[in-house]
Structure 1
Amino acid sequence: MTRSITILGATGSIGRSTSGVIQAHREEFRVEAVVGGRNATALAKIAQDLGAKFAALADEGAGEALSLALSGSGIRGGAGHAAVLEAVDRDADIVLAAISGTAGLAPTHAALKPGRRIALANKESLVCAGGVFMADARRLGVQVMPVDSEHNALDHALAAGSDRDVEKAVITASGGPFRTWTKERIARADAREASAHPVWSMGSKINIDSSTLMNKGLELIEAHHLFDLEPERLDVLVHPEAIVHGLVQWSDGAVTAGLALPDMKVPIANALRNQNRLKMDLPRLDLAAIGRLSFEQPDEGRFPCLSLAKAALRTGGAMPTILNAANEIAVEAFIADAIGFYDISELVERVCSTFFGRNIAAPSTVADALRIDQEARQAARQLLPTLTGTARL
């Protein structure tokens, strides 16, 4: 049976990989709508390639360009917040949620409709508002399927037993571009070096989060909400080969792991599948050819962002929301060459400390999460001038 799908974040790396999966299985899917940020030409091409009925850009100023790019295709287009929500509201069995950043939180939450499946690739839905997001998903009978390779691997592994028998659920990290660098050399790194991820091809913000290991901290917060596991039952291992994406240690000593070559089409295909897996024409994992899989503990002295994220998870309340907001401001400043590499963690720590004694409750609504996010961003911007260049050698 053909299933209808809407893609939020269609022009990003996850969206493009999703397009590849759909095009390999046109008999399985009908594309209802596609949503992008501001690139009218790219979105129009994707919409036409996939035969979408509706295309929307978040940037209201790009509406005329989108109309021109879609001219003669028969595909309706729109731009701005209302157009994005129209795309979300259209009938679809599956919504692939891959709008990056906090901008994706409201549309992804709005996509929660009875009987739907959300293929989730927007971290902020869980990092900033995980409690309310998952509660609403359960209340509405929405199936949330993780698209991140690590959470997708854990989803596979956890199916091997009962939650009560899980001793530890572990996600892996490649270690980023600075895995073997000294702290002194890391401190001199610029945004170009931090964006050079050794395994995955992602956007600059995510690549830099990988270089600080903040991405692994955010993924621990996501795993907490996705799988209802306490912080003490979650951990990170550095695994440079990026073959084992997640593993579960059971109470009897057994370990179940999810392995795959590092290609996002693998977890996307799993998140979109029905009862049967989608056949994908991808290279197969050849362990004999790889020969060696290595693991090491993350060095939280060289990568303090991981420690900060773990502390935010343990603290709970609004602290993960605050952590994420401060990190986004810090990474923006680093990309702009306004601060050094270790100023990222310094700013995040100072912002979190500013809010720590206030014991702000976890967001009860998406609007609440966005309000806390904005308050934390304002605090980060105010602190930025006091940190500029402080962590450069």
Structure 2
Amino acid sequence: MYTFSHKSRQLQAELSAFMDEHIFPNEAAYAAQLHATENRFAPLPLMDALKARAKAAGLWNLFTPESHGQYCSHGGLSNFDYAPLAEMMGRVSWSPEVFNCNAPDTGNMEVLMNYASEFQREEWLTPLLNGEIRSSYAMTEPQVASSDATNIELSIRREGDSWVLNGRKWFITGAMNERTRLFIVMGKSDPHNPDRHKQQTQVLVPKETPGIQLIRPLSTLGYDDAPIGHAEIAFDNVRVPLGNVLLGEGRGFEIAQGRLGPGRMHHCMRLVGAAQRALELACQRAASRTTFGRTLSKHQSVREEIARSFSEIEMARLLVLKTSHKMDQQGVAASVDMIAASKTTVPLLVQNILDRCMQIHGAGGLTADYPMAEAFNYARWCRQADGPDQVHQMALGKQIIERYAERG
């Protein structure tokens, strides 16, 4: 069952070689450039150079699904075949952008592939696929519990030949980046519709549209995730043409559900890679450091932590692969149970693995000298991103109870 295609295996070998030659050796240089720049959300010369190398090597837009293979040179990959590639990229937090496979752009590109008009795809999808611009997905709001997407309040109303947007969004990934040119904005266009899942609409809003104000960059556990970043944004009488609507008025919730499923799995795929790298570093640390007259690797507690972490990584990886396989075979809608199981299990599991590996590294594990602290931040905010764990567990629990109760 778990056999990757020839195409995936070939790309895995090529990506692994690229990571060894160009990504891992440049981690320190990347950090130095980021800290030296006056604007932390400006493009980095090293990133641009690495992107050119990745594109020339054919390691570009690897996330593209088979159903839209016309948009990439490799013809598209299944979720299952993409999983090991995303895991490799997850070993270095910033590396997915090198291959044009970073959030939120991958999800936004899939939205445009699936729901945009031909004109919208030409205007926005093409430059995104080429890596010429970046994008953001504006859904979460500070004043309501956005875990229930029907709560969102940003107003989208028709006025003549325009949509007029008023409201506030926050934790909008990519909004601070200088190359971001497009916001996909979800708001409420029909608040009195008796079907609360048809009250929302999504529209395409160019970043430079008058009335948009970037209030501030936001951080998570002290990390600003530059140069991509997260932002709080105000929309004050922002006007865009009626033709900027995605799919149609009242179909915003439908788009959100279609977008977030694959995105949740991409996060889980990358997190497995972050955990695997942390485990390898912890083993190297345990074999090279001595306490109380023997190496850390000889201490029973360290061995137990390593064993537990290895086992949990294997469980997480298998859960991701099984979920990806079901998505490929039955579609996203039929796989919401496995997607929810992955989304609520993998980030927490990886968070705990990273915590153990940080502990084995002593105080150094808390610093930027090692990748674990930043990866821990990533795992932690993944438990909030794309819907908090509790919402998914509530929906999954209901589904499972109904499934098995009917057999009684």
TM-score (norm 1): 0.26
- Structure with bigger helix share is 2
Larger Rg: 2
